[in-house]
Amino acid sequence: MLRSSIAVIFLALYILVVGPPLILHCVVTGSPEVMVKLAVAGARFALVICGIKVKAEGLENIPPEVCIFVANHTSNADPPAVVGSIPRRVALLGKKEAFQVPILGTVLRLGGFVSVDRANREAAIASVDQAIEHLKSGLSFLIFPEGTRSPDGRLRPFKKGSFVMAIRAQVPIVPVSVVGAHKVMLKGELAVHPGSVTVKFHPPVDVKAYTMEQRDKLVAQVQAIVASGLPEDQQPLAQNKVKADSASQANPDPE
């Protein structure tokens, strides 16, 4: 609990002290690169304070062009672990509450992050449209398609939003398997447990072979790839596998 408290205090002070000058630099230069880089560095250092070691595998699989990184989600340690492992700037779709935090919200908006209001369908659709415009302008995204953190670390069914984004923007999907994060930061607990998190990047999936009507098959393919990089205790439950297989069989192979 001590490590957790120190990390929270560090992040609060980091945002208060470093945030304003970074925002000013971003506004003056018109570039968020430095701001985002230092923001990610601060988040990664918070993991170090908590005794969490991050190991990245498969970095050679990340394509040079714009893409959508799709990862499983088990812990609040996932975003800094994955974003910090990607060797270039990426943005995320985030809960609207995060954008209401002073200074932090401004950093997120300037960094290209997109606020999502899950309770408002029209607003959520508008957020997807905004993210697609960012993709077309050259900004990659990291998305956790399960929609929320898994309570037990096991892979849950993927929602279709990120796959619709990929098909509409015509950008590849990079499946990402996050291993061990559920053990260092359990859902519902404030305490952080020292340990290691492994981030595995798989070869990209070309979405150009899929139509919007075949998105269920794309979802099933990417979910299967993410699952292939997870240990037994993070594998999806049997009923989730059945859902994925059914989705795959319900759509013909793309031509």
Q: Is residue 8 part of a domain?
A: no
Residue 146 lies in a domain: yes
Residue 14 domain flag: no
* pLDDT given at position 188: 73
Q: What is the CATH number of the domain that holds 95?
A: 3.40.1130.10
Does a structural domain hold residue 161?
yes
Evaluate whether residue 29 is within a structural domain: no
* Structural domain contains residue 166: yes
User: Could you tell me which residue, 245 or 199, shows the higher pLDDT?
Assistant: 199
The side-by-side arrangement of strands in the sheet containing 68-71 is: 52-57, 195-201, 173-179, 68-71, 140-143, 90-95, 114-116
What pTM does this model have?
A: 0.89
What is the domain count for the chain? 1
With a CB cutoff of 8 Å and minimum separation 6, the contacts of 144 are 70, 71, 72, 73, 78
Instruction: Determine, yes or no, domain membership for 124.
Output: yes
Return the closest-CA partner of residue 165 out of 199, 204, 135: 135
Q: Give residue-wise pLDDT tens across range 137-178.
A: 999 999 999 988 998 999 999 999 889 999 999 999 999 999
Instruction: Give domain status of residue 80, yes or no.
Output: yes
Using CA atoms, how far residue 117 sits from 96, 114, 121, 127, 177, in Å, is: 6, 10, 8, 8, 26
Q: Kindly report, residue by residue over 71-94, the tens digit of the pLDDT.
A: 999 999 999 999 999 999 999 988
Range of the domain at 194: 53-249
pLDDT in tens, 97-131: 989 999 999 999 999 999 988 778 888 889 989 99
